[in-house]
Amino acid sequence: MRDARPDSSLPFMKMHGAGNDFVIIDSRGRRPVTTAALAAALGDRHRGVGFDQLAEIRDGEGADFTLDFWNSDGSRAGACGNASRCVADHVMAGLGRDSVTFTTERGTLVAVRRSDGLVSVNMGAPILDWRAVPLAREVDTLRLPVTGDPAAVGMGNPHCVFFVPDAEAVDLARDGAAMEHHPLFPEATNVEYASVTGPDRLRMRVWERGAGITLACGSGACATAVAAHRRGLTGRQVTLDLDGGTLEIDWREDGVWMTGPTAHVFDGWLSPAFLAAHA
């Protein structure tokens, strides 16, 4: 293994929240570096690093920092709850604090570290108006005119939530991929399948827009909890068991709070040759 790190190499972190994994690039104090080509190259699990989403930290404007999100196919993501929690955990540790504010396309958000070590983020109010999700035409977001009777919820990105008898039995690769580009969703959609497993508890699996099957999705967990409460299936505080771990959702008056674990896996450096090839 090479120890020398040229000045032109680019440092990054690998983190995950409940198995939802991220490359994180800290660009505070300099110009942003991520492009669609670089994100897609890094997202390749064989030729790059591999991730569900990439988060780039930028200097904050009226907040501690700003976050930009990219999917593994190189497309932009408007929100990423688990990446937000992971970055917040990293920044809080560096600042010696238990709370931070940051800006995304959703506006200014707040994250806190709880006494049990888990990190919570306020993902903002859910988007329930069809125009803002967005959908292609006026429909009831609680009952979409789609086979399977899903609900639509926006959390800074669009979500289509199906409630099924057994989420384990869903062919996620087939059904999620087919639904991602449904004509009702002009910007494509994340797709969640959830089943009620107990009082205020759901089993959820997810197909993410621009990433495919992932072990967890924070904004998807928020959207699913909101849809479940609106359907009368749960209260406003919901525990969701995902393929990669468990997330807690609390739909409060000030927004949808999501809580879960974070993990810093390793630090690395992107070589000058890799960066040059994918500029």
Active site residues per annotation? 80, 217
Q: Give the CA count within 13 Å in the CB-facing half-sphere of 26.
A: 16
Residue partners of 147: CB distance under 8 A and separation at least 6: none
Beta partners for 76? 70
* Whole-number Å distance between alpha carbons of 211 and 101: 27
* Whole-number Å distance between alpha carbons of 174 and 192: 13
Q: Tell me, rounded to whole angstroms, the distance of Cα 187 from its chain centroid.
A: 16
CA distances from 74 to 186, 226, 266, 271 (A): 18, 28, 22, 19
Q: Tell me, rounded to whole angstroms, the distance of Cα 144 from its chain centroid.
A: 23
Using only the alpha carbons of the chain, give its radius of gyration: 18
